[in-house]
Chain A
Amino acid sequence: MRYLLRRALHAAFLLFGVSLLTFLFSALTPGSYFDEMRLNPQIAPATILALRAQYQLDRPLPVRYLHWLTAVAHGELGFSFAYNSPVAPLLWTRARNTLLLTVTAMLLAWLVALPLGIWSAAKFGRAADRIVSSATAALLVVPDLVLALGLLILAVRTGWFPTGGLVSVGFDALSPLQKFRDLVLHMTLPVAALALAALPTLIRHIRASVAEALEAPFIRAAVSHGIPHRKLLFGYALRAAANPLIALFGFSVGTLLSGSLLVEVVMSWPGLGPLLLEAILARDLYVVLGGVLFSMIFLVAGNLFADVLLFWADPRIRIEASPK
């Protein structure tokens, strides 16, 4: 229990630090959202001053930070200047879209990577392994920007997939089945880009840890006891290889909100990514803070999740962590 508590404390510290850092960054930013208003002769300087006062931009930095912290503690994330609405609901709709995309992509990537990685490790050094390894190596040298743009070009040239957005224009008029089909078609490209970008890392880690486990002395002992190959692979080796994979899984859960930023922008998917980019360019302070906090919470939660899973799956950690 103490182990988990320590991890949780560490996570809380991380969250606090990140929020402080983001706040500092944005405070160092020259200019604010209201600066452009000054160019407009129809807005009186007094109005701008009043607006600044209303959003407390005229208060000193530590005061603003403390104020923001207490607001967050009450579950409010501040107010967007550009959208003229509270940040939390704004972020939540976008985060939902991002999650729809990334959860699908992650599941797909793991479903493909697990069998491929295990298969590759079981056939270590043989033809099947070579093919899988060269394929992952080829994927590894294609960066996500190149991959996403390439898929987009492919889509517009073939016309198979729509090239942006969440749903088609007349979505509300469609029947439930058509709605589903429309959504799936729109999701295919970004999901493919995300899954393909994640695949090589996953496959290589799975292959490496399973292959390492297969080399272990206890596996050789099991072989000489005549335990069948299949049981050996899935019952023994996979169990022993699980540790780094669980950590990796936690990590990929953690990047669910932040990992798809570029793909979302390229494919114009209405998720957190485009919103955040827009907010940064417009100096929409609280949207930026809220967005980063959102994805940080996910990152930290993902790591914590991995810790809990490890604690549950690996008796060695439980024994090490238990009080003497």
Chain B
Amino acid sequence: MRISRNFTNWLVFLVVLHVIIAAAGFFAPYDPVEQDRDHPYLPPMHIHMMDAQAHFHFRPFFYPVRLREGSFDQYEEDTAHAVPLHFFTHAAPYRLLGIPSRLHLFGAADARVYLLGSDAYGRDQLSRILYGGQISLLAGLLGAAVTLFLGALIGMAAGYYGGWRDDILMRIAELFLALPWLYLLFALRAFLPLAVSPIQAFLLVVIVIGMVGWARPARLVRGVVLSVKERDFVRAARGFGASDFYLLRRHIFPETASVLLTQAAILVPQFVLAEMTLSFLGLGVPEPMSSWGNLLATLQQYNVLVSYWWMYLPALAIVPFFLGYLSLASALRHRIGAYKIGETLETEDNSSWSRT
């Protein structure tokens, strides 16, 4: 990828994105499950600096809206009185890293402001996207952690012990690589119970996603281990009587770190997308919890698709994350020079999220 080789820039970009999602309570003006039955399917509001009399205001403001007579989703602005936007306001309580707080980046006193519109129950779409990001990202990160743990474990076992163990493990890995990704996801999800509590559902999603992708990192780790275990410093340590476990932990595992890091940067966005796909199809995180996937699920209703385009906005939230992670992965590869390991095509394939 020729976007940029600048590793640090992409890292900072990603950290900023993650901080915004982690501090969703601060950036979101409202509680994500708070309903406003008077404003269902409200389109994104216009924020003005100029009023109807063409006077300029330094403080941005918006006009409150009300339902048009005889309509259930057509709104008109009430231009009689403007509601100013305030910054660093105190409103709905939330917890940030366990610390209770009421501080929000912005809000309004007299009426609710919907920057990205509202859903069927009048819940603020912006708040739901920000909070939903916490679920989706956490699923992606935990899923990647599970996958990398399994991959590293299996890869090291196969590479280090070799022989028939290696053969069996690698044949199974090939099986997992051959099975189309989504089929595997569905099959795994199918054999787990369908009706569960939201927290259980979330954990299920993480486990399912985490168990699908171990084969590729395992093969890459195995490749590294195969070459590292014959190196002099490992042989010397073995000569001094080091145990298998010590060798693996102290000398071999650190050598696989670069491969694992690159794989992590590739896997996280893929797994966020996997969560989105599962939840979109109704197999993942259920309402009223929001995740990027189940926010999109309403688009399966035809009338929503036709009339309320802003319900599509959650889909776009993942794009900057994809950009950040994929660029980081390519920067990492160039920085570490993972090309030397000789499995270029495999990592390349993976980075492009081929639809298998």
Distance in angstroms from B185 CB to nearest chain A CB is: 10
On whether A153 and B312 interact (CB within 8 A), knowing A28-B191, A143-B353, A163-B305, the answer reads: yes
Distance in angstroms from B216 CB to nearest chain A CB is: 15
| CB <8 Å contact, B187 and A280 | yes
On whether A17 and B171 interact (CB within 8 A), knowing A29-B191, A280-B187, A280-B190, the answer reads: yes
| CB <8 Å contact, A145 and B179 | no
On whether A150 and B315 interact (CB within 8 A), knowing A26-B191, A255-B356, A280-B190, the answer reads: yes
On whether A259 and B355 interact (CB within 8 A), knowing A146-B316, A277-B186, A296-B178, the answer reads: yes
| CB <8 Å contact, B183 and A261 | yes
| CB <8 Å contact, B190 and A204 | no
| CB <8 Å contact, A259 and B180 | yes
Name the one of B171, B187, B305 contacting A152, with C-beta atoms under 8 angstroms. Answer: B305
Chain B interface, >50% SS class: helix
A292 at interface, CB cutoff 8 A: yes
Stretch at the interface among A44-52, A133-141, A305-313: A133-141
B100 at interface, CB cutoff 8 A: no
Docked CA distance A26–B281 (Å): 20
A244 at interface, CB cutoff 8 A: yes
Name the A residues within 8 Å of B315 (CB-CB).
145-146, 149-150
B296's nearest neighbour on chain A, judged by CB, is: A149
The interface on chain A, measured as residues whose beta carbon lies within 8 A of the other chain's beta carbons, has a size of 54
Distance in angstroms from A212 CB to nearest chain B CB is: 11
B97 at interface, CB cutoff 8 A: no
A156's nearest neighbour on chain B, judged by CB, is: B306
Name the B residues within 8 Å of A210 (CB-CB).
none
| CB <8 Å contact, B179 and A21 | yes
Name the one of A14, A21, A157, A198 contacting B309, with C-beta atoms under 8 angstroms. Answer: A157
Docked CA distance A261–B356 (Å): 10
On whether A25 and B175 interact (CB within 8 A), knowing A144-B355, A153-B312, the answer reads: no
| CB <8 Å contact, A137 and B1 | yes
B288 at interface, CB cutoff 8 A: no
On whether A18 and B326 interact (CB within 8 A), knowing A25-B188, A153-B312, A259-B356, the answer reads: no
Distance in angstroms from B224 CB to nearest chain A CB is: 23
Docked CA distance A277–B190 (Å): 10
A265 at interface, CB cutoff 8 A: yes
| CB <8 Å contact, B178 and A14 | yes
| CB <8 Å contact, A134 and B2 | yes
B197 at interface, CB cutoff 8 A: no
B17 at interface, CB cutoff 8 A: no
B126 at interface, CB cutoff 8 A: no
A276 at interface, CB cutoff 8 A: yes
Name the B residues within 8 Å of A255 (CB-CB).
180, 354-356
Docked CA distance A149–B299 (Å): 8
Name the A residues within 8 Å of B183 (CB-CB).
258, 261, 276, 292, 295
A255-309 contacts to B, CB under 8 A, are 255, 258-262, 265, 276-277, 280-281, 283, 288, 292, 295-296, 299-300
Name the one of A141, A149, A261, A283 contacting B180, with C-beta atoms under 8 angstroms. Answer: A261
Chain A interface, >50% SS class: helix
| CB <8 Å contact, B319 and A142 | yes
| CB <8 Å contact, A14 and B174 | yes
A22 at interface, CB cutoff 8 A: yes
Docked CA distance A153–B191 (Å): 33
B261 at interface, CB cutoff 8 A: no
Q: Mark B316-354, 1 if CB is under 8 A from A, else 0.
A: 101100110010000000000000000001001100111
Docked CA distance A308–B84 (Å): 70
Docked CA distance A150–B273 (Å): 15
Name the one of A17, A28, A205, A276 contacting B186, with C-beta atoms under 8 angstroms. Answer: A276
Distance in angstroms from A14 CB to nearest chain B CB is: 6
A217 at interface, CB cutoff 8 A: no
| CB <8 Å contact, A26 and B180 | no
Docked CA distance A20–B82 (Å): 67
| CB <8 Å contact, B175 and A17 | yes
Distance in angstroms from B71 CB to nearest chain A CB is: 20
Distance in angstroms from A61 CB to nearest chain B CB is: 14
Q: Mark B245-280, 1 if CB is under 8 A from A, else 0.
A: 000000000000000000000000000010011001
| CB <8 Å contact, B191 and A133 | no
On whether A146 and B355 interact (CB within 8 A), knowing A14-B174, A17-B171, A140-B326, the answer reads: no
A201 at interface, CB cutoff 8 A: yes
Q: Mark A4-21, 1 if CB is under 8 A from B, else 0.
A: 000000000110011001
Name the one of B1, B188, B296, B305 contacting A156, with C-beta atoms under 8 angstroms. Answer: B305
| CB <8 Å contact, A146 and B318 | yes
| CB <8 Å contact, A280 and B186 | yes
| CB <8 Å contact, B352 and A201 | yes
| CB <8 Å contact, A141 and B190 | no
B3 at interface, CB cutoff 8 A: yes
| CB <8 Å contact, B187 and A145 | no
A30 at interface, CB cutoff 8 A: yes
Name the B residues within 8 Å of A142 (CB-CB).
319, 322
Distance in angstroms from A167 CB to nearest chain B CB is: 18
Q: List 9 A-B contacts (CB under 8 A).
A: A14-B178, A26-B191, A29-B190, A29-B191, A141-B322, A143-B322, A145-B280, A258-B180, A295-B183
Chain B residues in contact with chain A, CB under 8 A?
1-3, 171, 174-175, 178-180, 182-183, 186-191, 193-194, 273, 276-277, 280-281, 296, 299, 302, 305-306, 309, 312, 315-316, 318-319, 322-323, 326, 345, 348-349, 352-356
Instruction: List the 7 closest pairs (A to B, CB-CB), nearest first.
Output: A258-B180, A141-B322, A201-B352, A29-B191, A141-B323, A146-B315, A280-B190
Since A26-B190, A141-B319, A152-B305 are in contact, a sample of 8 more A-B pairs with Cβ atoms closer than 8 Å, ordered by chain A residue number, is A26-B187, A28-B191, A29-B191, A143-B318, A149-B299, A153-B299, A204-B348, A276-B183
